[in-house]
Amino acid sequence: MFAAHAIDTSDKPQFYHELAAQMEGLLTGEADAIANAANVSALLFQSMPDLNWAGFYFLRSPDELVVGPFQGKPACVRIAVGRGVCGSAVAERRSIIVEDVTKADNHIFCDPDSRSELVVPLVRAGQIIGVIDLDSPTPGRFDEDDRTGVERLAEIYVAASASF
């Protein structure tokens, strides 16, 4: 049985290295994409400091994301590609860090307590299948170390999970 252990967060690259190892252990032997997303959401929410939402949105049509497993307050269910940070990450095919969502023209306020956001696309065989979305109540919570670390976690999730 998997048991997460506390990770020192003072060195972000090392934190993400250890979190990736825990995530690989968590996903070993399980290929169900929804089950894996549920467990990854819980692991991220438990392990990463200063989050108020951690979860997935999946591309269910060429122009719409639908909420998947997450930890945090209830979320927006459907997001158009190109709208909000999640939809923009899909449309632009890149990770996006928003330091202060109150200053972002395209932000969708699902939780008024969120102040910063990191969205990382999930890519399988060159196609975006969804995103990992992280929110924090603290402005400027996410930086390039977080982006790089979560991009690696996204790769691990995609490699472990079968298609829907």
Span 130-150, pLDDT tens digits: 999 999 999 999 999 999 999
DSSP code of 70?
A: E
Which DSSP helix (H) or strand (E) runs through 34? helix 33-47
Residue whose structure tokens are 């692991």: 43
Residue pair 96/86 in contact by the 8 Å Cβ criterion: no
Q: How far apart are alpha carbons 120 and 112 in whole angstroms?
A: 21
Mean pLDDT of 105-133: 89
Q: Is 101 exposed, middle or buried (0-12, 13-18, 19+ CB in 10 A)?
A: buried
Q: What is the pTM of this model?
A: 0.95
Fold of 12-160: Beta-Lactamase (3.30.450)
Residues ≥6 apart with Cβ < 8 Å to 15: 7, 8, 9, 149
The pLDDT of residue 105 is 74
Residues above pLDDT 70, as percent of the chain: 97
Q: How far apart are alpha carbons 160 and 147 in whole angstroms?
A: 20
Is 1 a residue whose pLDDT tops 70? no
Is 109 a residue whose pLDDT tops 80? no
The pLDDT of residue 122 is 98
The pLDDT of residue 90 is 98
Mean pLDDT of 92-114: 84
